Amino acid sequence: MRTTLTLDDDVAALLKRAMQRNKKGLKEQVNEALRAGLLAAPPKRRKHRTKSYDGGTCLIGSITSISEALAIAEGEDFR
């Protein structure tokens, strides 16, 4: 793909130094740097938040007994 790219001055200076250090051309050095940067950066994930809901106080004193909870919720005829 052919494209025009405008670089910030500091990025251009870093690129020139990398080209001299690695003895590579502009195209090769830019492709290598972009590839390394894109592969190293993990994709950003959106945080998922579940809204809380205050249901108030428990209408049943204790829910350790399912039979007791059903009797209170549905009456004594729940069976």
- Written as one string, the DSSP assignment of 8-41 is -HHHHHHHHHHHHHHT--HHHHHHHHHHHHHHHS
- Would 35 be classed as within a structural domain? yes
Q: Which of 37, 38, 33 is nearest to 15 (CA)?
A: 33
- Rounded to whole angstroms, the Cα distance separating 32 from 34 reads 6
Task: Give the pLDDT score at 22.
Answer: 95
Task: Give residue 19's domain range.
Answer: 9-40
Task: Give the pLDDT score at 9.
Answer: 96
Q: Report how many domains make up the chain.
A: 1
Give the pLDDT of the chain (79 residues) as one tens digit per residue.
Answer: 889 999 999 999 999 999 999 999 999 999 999 999 999 978 788 888 888 888 887 777 666 778 777 777 787 665 5
Amino acid at 16: K
- Would 65 be classed as within a structural domain? no
- Would 64 be classed as within a structural domain? no
Q: Position of tokens 């001299």?
A: 20
